[in-house]
Amino acid sequence: MLAGLIYFSGPEKIATVLLRANPLIIAAGLSVMAVGGVLRTERWRYLLRKAGISVPFFTAMKIYVASMFLSNVTPGKSGDPIRSVLLKKVHGDKVSSSLPSVIVERALDVGSMVLLGLAGLSFVAASAASTVMPFFAGAMAIYAVIFLTAIFALSSEGRARRMANLINRFASHLPKIRNYTGRTENFMLNMQKSLATYGSKRTIAAGLLYSLSIWLIEGAIFYAAFLSLGFEVPFVAVVASVCVATLVSVLTFLPGGIGSAELITVAFFMSITTLTMADITAAAIVSRALSYWIYVAVGAALLATMKYNYGV
């Protein structure tokens, strides 16, 4: 998909745009990415402390970045839970104790991206010149409904049981999947009890503040990519595009949303700007190099050299 996008955008045109990139602005984008990495680590440490787990900053950062590699090369970011396994092997903490922090973190990310995405879409909707914006808005709305339903269901034991029964009734009509329906209620109840640790308003507010800051920084990285190539675009639109592309590309189950995220980004900006497909593709390539590919490269190196002191 990514190769196709580059082909139809024109490899020569993309190369011409990339050659005029401003190295100082790219360096600034790298600095912003580093700040984002610190915030991601601190958010996880904050959530771990709420579960009674204290991890040194640099140990947590190495585990986090290594897990980002696994998350970015697995379908639909399904590698996220392995972070708890790495924490167990490196620091000795129980997987069952740390796993809820990873789940809550992802819930905070989805909530933040939905908020920022819908706010950004409402800002650019009037200037959109195509039919893709209603599609993106609809995708954000579906995410919002699913997110709020999950939060509502897991906020009490009774609702968790009722949701498990609904899932069981639906899954009983599906071949193979119905073999696992007996585990649904236990899973939902265990999840509800585990997530109760993070149920206070103060914890949710602090976690949401961390997450909103992180996704604003992701937008700033993409904004720096545009600026480095000499393109002026609204910052709000850039943040919205990052949130929309991330959430929608997860549904494709492509590792890291490779190809799909770039394609969504091109469709987004072609509907609200006069930039060419080659211009937007070049900016997307720079942005992904500053975020996605750095995490993949550094995370792979950390995972390969990490010292494991404990068994699982």
pLDDT in tens, 159-215: 777 777 777 776 666 665 555 555 666 666 666 766 677 878 888 899 999 999 999
pLDDT in tens, 4-25: 999 999 999 999 999 999 999 9
Instruction: Work out the burial of residue 67: count CB atoms within 10 Å of its CB; fewer than 13 is exposed, 13-18 middle, 19 or more buried.
Output: buried
- The DSSP result for 259-310, as a single string, is THHHHHHHHHHHTTS---HHHHHHHHHHHHHHTHHHHHHHHHHHHHH----S
- Show me where the domains of the chain are located: 2-129+200-210+241-256+267-282+289-305
Q: Of the candidates 147, 146, 145, 140, which has an alpha carbon nearest to the alpha carbon of residue 248?
A: 140
pTM here? 0.86
Residue 233 phi/psi, 5-degree rounding, is -130, 155
What is d(CA 250, CA 113) in angstroms, rounded to the nearest whole number? 13
Smallest CA-to-CA distance from 207 within 56, 60, 44 is with 44
